[in-house]
């Protein structure tokens, strides 16, 4: 997850930024840099690798001045290198930017800017931002208005921070979607900004947060906040406690809520360094997959527990559809007792947030014993499931603290989508046009997530209606069937309400007998290839007096006409839709549990990492 730190005031910005970036190291990164203003000139230092390398670089070749901005980067566009590290200067050398997120329309913008004669110095999408700002400044606008025009022009969920040598009295920051947070720290005659509180906690306890589509003009003595459209906003000032746990929770009441809201960022990060949008290709280096082996694979068995297993069920549809390799999903606690039919021509793919789940590790051992290639998709870096695998995909989503898994559910959905494309590419089973289209769709993900999470208030209203129910049914079909399982699991584990996930088509074979006026039925009915089937399920539930809460695609009047409540999601390419439809269900479970006053982050009887059988 990229980290950003900014400082404006009388002190030298360099140590403040370097210390702040150090506190953001937990987010993970592969390069770092900073820029400060010194005697009217912008000075930059940046490097690939760890922050210590940047510090060494600065020690050898010191810079000082203020204001200043710094950044730790997790590569999305272009390899980790000094050239691609942030900050990025414009052509005049007078404007500099750091950025977190993906500029979805960067290829179009790059073409337009290149046609204007601009020569790009890096492979990043970020560089388009600084050139656009300079384009508007050249037309006569000041930094703030040029930045505002640029923010309106770039698509996607992005955090952008800019400064200009010609306007040394300000730093401009914007949170365009939910691509990570922006916290503004209030000092005396100096101000700070960062991606997260720990970066500035040693300097101030008084903070404000930028919401989506807000920008701030940060001066030494004042911070002006407005929407990107120019409407003034007065954000609340929070006084944060020095307690590091509270500080880490930031503006959220619980880690689970924070982690739900981190998903635009988490999914950007899980793609980082792996998606080549220009060539329409996927790189998964840690998988160490050769073309020869990719062509030989006869079957993939996915094994995992709980939420991770439901992620695997979505993966089955993706890998079978895109790579045309047969996939089965086996719950890890059953795998080693089932005398599994698996061998050297097969892959056993384990999915695990912690990488330490005993059942999952035991399944991996059994797979190894039978000669299968072991792959894992893991969040906890260095965990056993990562170490014992022949190849792995790291989720790269940062620590997940809430016991109920959220971002470690959506990240492996994207990882498996990438894996499916990579496999298909190596096996030669995907034509170039389709492959490029599938890869291009990944660009949409952070913004779709961000737009869905912005609808939390609507979800909360429905949570108030459902807070006292005793049972709840979740129905889904096709690629969204596992989302019914996952939605039900989220509700039961944190709210202690009995909930069942069911493949909607199975209702008529028994469970439909349960439906009456006291049974809420959550129907996951986005516009995917199973939409018509879900419509008929909604009708059947309504005919039996059930209260239907539908997850539906914006503008779907058919569903709106039938359901009692609708949780809307933006239109999404169907193979990516589970990463979106699950979001309202995570928020619904969270709000129901929180309204019931329960310990959301540490529900009874549960542990974050289940290291026993």
- Of 125 and 259, the one with the shorter C-beta distance to ligand F6R is 259
- Of 454 and 500, the one with the shorter C-beta distance to ligand F6R is 500
Burial 404-429 (b: 16+ CB within 10 A, else e): bbbbbbbbbbbbbbbbbbbbbbbbeb
- Of 34 and 386, the one with the shorter C-beta distance to ligand F6R is 386
- Of 227 and 602, the one with the shorter C-beta distance to ligand F6R is 602
- Of 70 and 367, the one with the shorter C-beta distance to ligand F6R is 367
For the chain, how big is the Rg over CA atoms in Å?
Answer: 24
- Cβ at position 352, least distance to ligand F6R in Å: 3
Give 98's contacts (C-beta < 8 A, 6+ positions apart).
4, 33, 35, 69, 70, 71, 86, 87, 88, 126, 160, 161
Residue of 447, 446, 421 lying closest to 436 (CA atoms) = 421
Ramachandran angles phi, psi of 562, nearest 5°: -105, -35
3-state class (DSSP) for residue 221? coil
Q: Given the rule CB under 6 A, which residues bind ligand F6R?
A: 305-308, 352-354, 357, 360, 404-405, 489, 493, 609-610
3-state class (DSSP) for residue 556? coil
CB atoms within 10 A of CB 517: 9
In sequence order, what E strands does 16-67 have?
31-38, 41-48
- Of 395 and 566, the one with the shorter C-beta distance to ligand F6R is 395
- Of 303 and 537, the one with the shorter C-beta distance to ligand F6R is 303
Nearest-CB residue to ligand F6R?
306
- Cβ at position 461, least distance to ligand F6R in Å: 24
* Catalytic residue selected from 50, 321, 542, 608: 608
305 among known catalytic residues: no
The whole-angstrom separation of Cα 255 and Cα 248 is 9
CA atoms within 13 A on the CB side of 434: 13
Contact 398, 269 (CB under 8 A): yes
* Catalytic residue selected from 2, 305, 472, 523: 2
- Cβ at position 91, least distance to ligand F6R in Å: 47
The whole-angstrom separation of Cα 91 and Cα 99 is 17
Paired residues of 393 in beta bridges: 377
60 among known catalytic residues: no
Contact 356, 340 (CB under 8 A): no
Give 298's contacts (C-beta < 8 A, 6+ positions apart).
325, 326, 345, 346
Paired residues of 299 in beta bridges: 346
- Cβ at position 333, least distance to ligand F6R in Å: 10
Q: Catalytic residue positions?
A: 2, 608
């Amino acid at each position: 997850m990229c980290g950003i730190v900014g400082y404006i005031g009388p002190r030298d910005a360099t140590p403040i930024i370097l210390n702040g970036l150090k506190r953001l190291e937990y987010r993970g990164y592969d390069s770092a840099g900073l820029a400060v203003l010194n005697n009217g000139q912008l000075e930059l230092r940046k490097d690939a690798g760890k922050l210590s390398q940047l510090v060494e670089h600065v020690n050898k070749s010191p810079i000082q001045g203020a204001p200043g901005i710094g950044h730790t980067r997790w590569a999305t566009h272009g390899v980790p290198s000094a050239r691609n590290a942030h900050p990025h200067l414009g052509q005049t050398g007078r404007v500099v930017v750091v950025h977190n997120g993906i500029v979805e329309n960067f290829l179009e913008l790059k073409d337009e800017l290149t046609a204007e004669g601009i020569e790009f110095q890096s492979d990043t999408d970020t560089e388009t931002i600084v050139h656009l700002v300079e384009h508007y400044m050249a037309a006569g606008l000041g930094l703030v208005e040029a930045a505002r025009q640029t923010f309106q022009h770039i698509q996607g969920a992005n955090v952008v921070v800019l400064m200009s040598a010609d306007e040394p009295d300000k730093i401009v920051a914007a949170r365009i979607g939910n691509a990570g947070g922006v916290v503004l720290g209030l000092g005396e005659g100096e101000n700070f900004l960062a991606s997260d509180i720990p970066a500035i906690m040693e300097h101030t306890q008084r903070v404000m947060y930028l919401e989506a589509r807000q920008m701030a003009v940060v001066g030494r003595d004042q911070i002006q906040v407005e929407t990107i459209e120019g409407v003034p906003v007065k954000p609340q000032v929070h006084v944060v406690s020095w307690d590091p746990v509270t500080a880490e929770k930031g503006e959220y009441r619980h880690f689970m809520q924070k982690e739900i809201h981190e998903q635009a960022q988490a999914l950007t990060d899980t793609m980082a360094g792996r998606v080549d949008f220009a060539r329409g290709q996927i790189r998964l280096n840690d998988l160490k997959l050769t073309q020869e082996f990719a062509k030989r694979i006869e079957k993939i068995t996915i094994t995992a527990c709980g939420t991770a297993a439901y992620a695997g069920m979505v993966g089955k549809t993706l890998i079978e559809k895109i790579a045309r390799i047969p996939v089965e999903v086996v719950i890890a606690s059953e795998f080693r007792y089932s005398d599994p039919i698996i061998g050297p021509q097969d892959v056993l793919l384990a999915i695990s947030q912690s990488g330490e789940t005993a059942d999952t590790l035991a399944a991996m051992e059994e797979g190894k014993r039978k000669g299968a290639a072991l792959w894992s998709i893991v969040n906890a870096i260095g965990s056993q499931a990562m170490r014992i695998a022949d190849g792995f995909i790291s989720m790269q989503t940062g620590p997940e603290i809430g016991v109920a898994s959220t971002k470690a559910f959506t990240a492996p959905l994207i990882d498996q989508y990438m894996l499916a494309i990579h496999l298909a590419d190596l096996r030669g089973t995907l034509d170039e046009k389709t492959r490029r289209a599938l890869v291009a769709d990944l660009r949409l993900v952070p913004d779709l997530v961000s737009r869905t999470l912005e609808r939390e208030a609507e979800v909360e209203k429905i949570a108030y209606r459902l807070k006292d129910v005793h049972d709840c049914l979740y129905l889904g079909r096709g690629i969204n069937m596992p989302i019914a399982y996952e939605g039900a699991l989220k509700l039961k584990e944190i709210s202690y309400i009995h909930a069942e996930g069911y493949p909607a088509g199975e209702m008529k074979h028994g469970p439909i007998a349960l439906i009456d006026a006291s049974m809420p039925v959550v129907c996951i009915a986005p516009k995917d290839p199973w939409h018509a089937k879900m419509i008929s399920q909604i009708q059947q539930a309504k005919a039996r007096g059930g209260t239907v809460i539908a997850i539906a695609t914006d503008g779907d009047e058919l569903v709106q006409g039938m359901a009692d409540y609708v949780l809307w999601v933006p239109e999404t390419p169907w193979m990516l839709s589970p990463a979106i439809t699950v979001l309202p269900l995570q928020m619904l479970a969270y709000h129901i549990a929180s309204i019931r006053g329960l310990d959301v982050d540490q529900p009874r009887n549960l542990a974050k990492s289940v290291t026993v059988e």
